[in-house]
Amino acid sequence: MIDLQNTFSDFESRKIIILGDVMVDTYLNGSVTRISPEAPVPVVKFKSRESRLGGAANVALNIKALGAEPIICSVIGTDEEGDQFLKILKENNLSDKGIFRSKNHTTTVKTRVIGNNQQLLRIDQEEVKPIHTDLAKYLITLVKELATTHKADAIIFEDYNKGVLVPELIHEVIRFANEKKIITTVDPKKENFFEYKNVTLFKPNLKELKEGTNMDFSARDKDAFLRSVEELNKKLNPKHTFVTMSEHGVYINDASENHFIPAHYRVIADVSGAGDTVISVATLCLASGLSPKLTAEIANLAGGLVCEKVGVVSVDKEQLMNEALNLL
């Protein structure tokens, strides 16, 4: 019998590197009582503005909320938005030792307009282009140094297709991690989907799995689903494939076993950031020695919990542990 309380306590000894695209998530909050006479759109009466850490930095917030030590490795611009990112990083007591500022990079900002606790519109301020070779080499060296110095338990690749995770960086960090027996987990996007070979855990959502394998099927068609997973495994050879399927729950494999885990009933307010929470929890569970099946069950609970809240938020460790103790 697994002692989940000890497992959650064990998170506090873990050090996790998060490598990938960071951004600022800004929220314009207000109320809606009428439709504009100028166009068929709601009029939002502004109440407040709030900016939070997003992308790989939100994964770091989740890792920190779970009690572990996160180390972000990424690139931001020398722009005002980059200044804002570092300010929010400091406010959240997160280190900037793995952050590089480049005049050739634009700091991504996602602005969400929220009316009556519902997202009405998102505005993306960004310039997407791959980082140059010299910067990729610098990041490779930086990740290796930080992983060695801090005795990292895992490296999370958080790919938002914003340009930080280029193939040469991905390949060399995976090679290094496997050599040092460091867990590697991946939250992929389409652009680099098949660059992540031989990782510990590969976590696409259902849409990404179908796009990546070029197969279309219903989540209820388990045979077709498993054929798609088999195709992915042939190309990438991950130790575990972990697929999130929204209301259909999650899937994970363990050697030759397939585990389909149903979703728990939730009142969904916002799915933003749920994937960040799932990869964070899954990584810490694996680092703490949990089985793939139990890892998926706890990560599934965590993803559902954050969907009950508006905006990109971190998981509540106590709430997650209590729910896991009650349901698993």
CB 240 within 8 A of CB 252: yes
Catalytic residue among 10, 153, 270, 276: 276
Q: How far is the C-alpha of 196 from the C-alpha of 201, rounded, in Å?
A: 10
Give the strands of the sheet with 99-102, arranged side by side.
99-102, 69-77, 15-20, 154-158, 183-187, 201-202, 240-244, 250-254, 257-261
CB 176 within 8 A of CB 169: no
Q: How far is the C-alpha of 61 from the C-alpha of 204, rounded, in Å?
A: 21
Q: Which long-range contacts (CB under 8 A, 24 or more apart) does 86-90 make?
A: 88/24, 88/51, 88/52, 88/53, 89/53, 89/57
Main-chain phi, psi angles of 291, to 5 degrees: -65, 155
Q: How far is the C-alpha of 156 from the C-alpha of 61, rounded, in Å?
A: 13
Tokens describing residue 128: 């997407």
Cα dihedral 50, 110, 265, 318 in deg (nearest 10): -50
Spell out the residues 6+ positions from residue 76 whose beta carbon is closer than 8 angstroms to its own.
Answer: 22, 82, 85, 86, 99, 100, 101, 102, 105, 107
Going from the C-alpha of 277 to that of each of 91, 173, 298, the distances in angstroms are 20, 22, 11
276 catalytic? Reply is yes
Task: Please list the active-site residues.
Answer: 276
